[in-house]
Structure 1
Amino acid sequence: MSVNVSYADEAAIRDHYQHMLDCWGDSVAYAECFTPEADYIIADGMIEHGWKEIVDGHNIIFSAWARNSRLIGRIESIRFITDDVALLIARGHIEYLDNRSSDGNKRTVYSLVAQRFEGRWLFAAYQNTPLAGH
């Protein structure tokens, strides 16, 4: 199967990934980085389905342990599965902005499925795994 993607597609996905990082702290804006029916699997294995559950789950963490934080991450790889679907592998962690220590924060590796949705790239799935030893 031949996949026809352009540099512009990869750049758009990288830009959208950065936008997702920048939306951290705003549960609605963060959820809107995903398709309306996205599956979001957090580190403890809980699954959030769709925008409402992603918003509700992030409202809880943004008012508790993730308050006053930002999400730091970097894409390690992007592999196009089809012209409209790509698999991303990334690494990241939470950085606290209110002088709490970030040292104990687990570093994670995660996968995202990017999908061209209504003419733009959004994430259709997210899965987060803490790295061993952190």
Structure 2
Amino acid sequence: MSDRHADDEAAIQAVLDNSYKAWEAGDADGMVADYTADATAIMTGSLRDSRDVIRENMALAFAGPLKGSSTYNKQLSLRFVGGDAAIVVSESGILFAGENEVPDTRKVNATWVFEKRNGQWLIAAYHNSPALTPGQ
């Protein structure tokens, strides 16, 4: 990566770290604080088409099935698309309360799309799909 992107990469990492920390705290508002208002999140069987919808869904999940959970995230790549967009690819998964490892069958490949608006990096889109385990 070129030096001109070093500050941008650090800012993107901070956005991701803040989102992961907010998830661990069960804080839906904090989790979407760095999402654009028109952000989308697509997961198997689900389209969430705004920051507000994402926040509402996460608040319900944190009060129910995701209570006490955290996430596993292994960044696989980060690339810049022009001067104001970036794509992060990660292997991710949900660690439910009491777990310290995500089973391979629950890991996903995730794509994060970032947009730089008014000098700030924000999450514009998120998508994940099940990761294939060897032999699939």
Q: TM-score, normalised by structure 1?
A: 0.85
Q: Deviations over 1:10-46 (max 9, x none)?
A: 11111211111111121111121211110111222x1
- What RMSD in Å do the two structures reach over aligned CA positions? 2.5
Pairwise CA distance, 1:97:
3.1
Which whole-Å CA distance do the structure 2 matches of 1:85 and 1:31 have between them? Answer: 18
- Structure 2 residue runs of 5 or longer lacking an equivalent are none
Which whole-Å CA distance do the structure 2 matches of 1:48 and 1:97 have between them? Answer: 25
* Conserved 8 A contact 2:73-2:91: yes
Residues 11 and 88 of structure 1: CA distance in aligned 2, closer, same or farther (over 3 Å): same
Q: Which residue identity lines up with residue 67 of structure 1 in the other structure?
A: K
Residues 64 and 101 of structure 1: CA distance in aligned 2, closer, same or farther (over 3 Å): farther
SS at match of 1:82: coil
Which whole-Å CA distance do the structure 1 matches of 2:20 and 2:90 have between them? Answer: 12
Which whole-Å CA distance do the structure 2 matches of 1:98 and 1:18 have between them? Answer: 21
Q: Which residue identity lines up with residue 82 of structure 2 in the other structure?
A: T
Specify the alignment match of 1:115 in structure 2. Answer: 115
Specify the alignment match of 1:11 in structure 2. Answer: 10
Pairwise CA distance, 1:91:
1.0
Q: In percent, how many aligned pairs have the same letter?
A: 22
Q: How many residues align?
A: 131
Which whole-Å CA distance do the structure 2 matches of 1:54 and 1:64 have between them? Answer: 15
Q: Superposition pairs for residues 37-76 of structure 1, below 5 Å?
A: 37-44=38-45, 46-76=46-76
- Structure 1 residue runs of 5 or longer lacking an equivalent are none
1:124 to 2:124 alignment: yes
